[in-house]
Amino acid sequence: MPDYIPGYIKLYKKGELKKRADEALKRLENCDICPHNCRVDRTKGERGRCGAPSNLIISGFHRHFGEEKVLVGDRGSGTIFFSNCNLSCVFCQNCDISCYGEGYEISEKKLADVMIRLQRYGCHNINLVSPSHYWPNIMMAVYYAALKGLNIPIVYNTGGYDALSALKSLDGIIDIYMPDIKFSDDKMGEKYAGVKGYFSVTKKAVKEMYRQTGDLKVDKRGIAYRGLLVRHLILPDDISGTKGVLEFIANDISKNTYVNLMDQYYPAHRAEDYPPLNRRITANEFQRAVETAAKLGLTRLEK
Ligand code: SF4
């Protein structure tokens, strides 16, 4: 990565980063920053579907060693957890933070200080977890952080339900996109994540992420610095529609996509009320997913 300069630094030097952040923050007055398009005025205390206020709420930040190995390396991924979420997964594994918005308010300037602190710890990147309902504030924080010398890649770690207009605003600011693709059937998205058109929206979003950043690139140490990394959590009885997700990635994105097939599902939140989500997946279910990926020619797997 020695020669890689994150895109946000270029935009900062051109004076465009602050302009984009100012414009983006205005959108919170009639909030359309994610596909729910609630049109509430968050700056006047109104809340939309995500329940997020206009100020940033985070539940914490730390040097994380449990993320993908291409993000963690030997010094960790500088992870910041944002509260609230624009999805309502019945099996949410972070419900206190995502469903109930636990956390504390932080200004954009203080969030910039957090980013600088994570960089000083030696983290390889800034990893924004669940940013889709806060990205305008985050953009402003990145501006303040660039002013203070932030120079490591930024990872957009999202549930995948992102608006195209949001991603276009983020073009050139995000170095690594890491979306989940949770389901390949919109009906499953509606039933289990509470949103309409999950796969339809996510497909468009992931195509745009790929257009901006391409296949995942790693440096000599094996640390990612730019590109797309897709996560897919395998659910019991193939509720996640794994074949459809992997076919989309292989045929419509790139066979060279870095894919994390995740086997760690466990019943959380309201999953006990939604059988078969009330059990873990079996070794066979996971093996089938790995074989499907291999048949489709997807070889860059983290599993
Ligand atoms: S970010 Fe929240 S308030 Fe804004 S459109 Fe999305 S769900 Fe609605």
**Span 266-282, mean pLDDT?**
97
What residue numbers bound the domain in which 100 lies? 7-302
Structural domain contains residue 1: no
Query: What single letter denotes the amino acid at residue 143?
Result: Y
Residue 3, pLDDT score: 81
* Domain at 288, CATH number: 3.20.20.70
The proportion of the chain whose per-residue pLDDT surpasses 70, expressed as a percent, equals: 99
How far is the centre of ligand 1, averaged over its atoms, from the C-alpha of 82 (Å)? 14
On the question of pLDDT at 125 being above 80, the answer is yes
pTM reported for the whole predicted model: 0.97
On the question of pLDDT at 270 being above 60, the answer is yes
Q: In the structure, which protein residues have their CB atom closer than 6 angstroms to any atom of ligand 1?
A: 31-34, 36-38, 40, 48-50, 52, 86, 133
Structural domain contains residue 106: yes
Q: What is the pLDDT of residues 102-120, one digit of tens each?
A: 999 999 999 999 999 999 9
Structural domain contains residue 28: yes
For ligand 1, mutation pick of 40, 57, 83, 161 (most atoms within 8 Å of CB): 40
Structural domain contains residue 196: yes
Q: Is 34 annotated as a binding residue?
A: no
Cβ neighbours of 54 (radius 10 Å): 19
Residue with tokens 């058109």: 197
Residue 233 burial class via C-beta count within 10 angstroms: exposed 0-12, middle 13-18, buried 19 and up: buried
Q: Indicate the average pLDDT of the chain.
A: 97
Structural domain contains residue 182: yes
Q: Tell me the C-alpha distance between 82 and 171, whole Å.
A: 21
How far is the centre of ligand 1, averaged over its atoms, from the C-alpha of 23 (Å)? 16
**Span 213-238, mean pLDDT?**
97
How far is the centre of ligand 1, averaged over its atoms, from the C-alpha of 175 (Å)? 24
Q: What is the total count of domains within the chain?
A: 1
DSSP states along 76-113: -EEEEEES--S---TT-S-HHHHTT--SEEE-HHHHHH
Structural domain contains residue 2: no
How far is the centre of ligand 1, averaged over its atoms, from the C-alpha of 134 (Å)? 9
Residues 6+ apart with CB under 8 A from 200: 186
**Span 68-92, mean pLDDT?**
97
On the question of pLDDT at 7 being above 80, the answer is yes
pLDDT higher at 8 or 1:
8
For ligand 1, mutation pick of 25, 26, 34 (most atoms within 8 Å of CB): 34
**Span 139-152, mean pLDDT?**
98
Q: What is the pLDDT of residues 227-268, one digit of tens each?
A: 999 999 999 999 999 999 999 999 999 999 999 999 999 999
Q: What is the pLDDT of residues 26-48, one digit of tens each?
A: 999 999 999 999 999 999 999 99
Structural domain contains residue 287: yes
How far is the centre of ligand 1, averaged over its atoms, from the C-alpha of 37 (Å)? 6
Tokens of 92: 């949410």
Ligand 1, atom 4, lies closest to the CA of 31
Residue 2, pLDDT score: 55
Ligand 1, atom 5, lies closest to the CA of 37
Confidence of residue 1 (pLDDT cuts 50, 70, 90): low
Structural domain contains residue 57: yes
- Around 10, how many Cα atoms within 13 Å sit in the side-chain half-sphere? 10
